[in-house]
Amino acid sequence: MKTIGNIGSPPLHYDIMASLIKAADAYDDSFPAFFVVMAFMLHCHQKQTLLRCVLDRGPQVRSLSITRHWPRLIAFMYTYWDHLRVVEFKISEHRLLTILDCAWQNPLSRTAAKEAMKAIRRYTERRPQLATVWPTVDVKIPAAPMNDR
């Protein structure tokens, strides 16, 4: 069977998910309906192209509703998709964690980004920079003056 689309063009799943993200961004009042369709699509089609689409298009959104919730799509993928399928994905861990770090810095998407980081923990050895316990820069603590009594 011949595949739909031209050589070099993104797959159909990618285009549909990108259109849903764009529609949810443009029509904020209909966001819940678009989000349910995106979640249903992620549930039925466990494909790497859908993860790439969410990583490409998610950080670019402007609507408050989709800004709050797009990292939850990543959390959904890493929580409910087949473990062996997710392990096979060729997604840059550095890119994924950098995008989630940026989402964590935004107060609107912080909770959703935290959920996504928790879901990704069992798949990667790397830790997000903002979620680590130790600071990356050495901080000198001033010594307290000693009392000679």
For the segment 98-138, what is each residue's pLDDT rounded down to a tens digit?
999 999 999 999 999 999 999 998 888 766 665 555 555 55
CA 31 – CA 66 distance, rounded (Å): 7
Asked if pLDDT for residue 147 goes beyond 80, the answer is no
CA 48 – CA 85 distance, rounded (Å): 9
How many CA atoms are closer than 13 Å to the CA of 4, on its beta-carbon side? Answer: 5
What does the pLDDT look like over 19-67, one tens digit per residue? 999 999 999 999 999 999 999 999 999 999 999 999 999 999 999 999 9
Predicted local distance difference test score (pLDDT) of residue 1: 44
Number of Cβ within 10 Å of residue 102's Cβ equals 14
Structure tokens that stand for 114 in this block: 């935290």
C-alpha distances out from residue 148 to 20, 56, 144, 145, Å: 70, 62, 13, 10
CA 2 – CA 66 distance, rounded (Å): 35
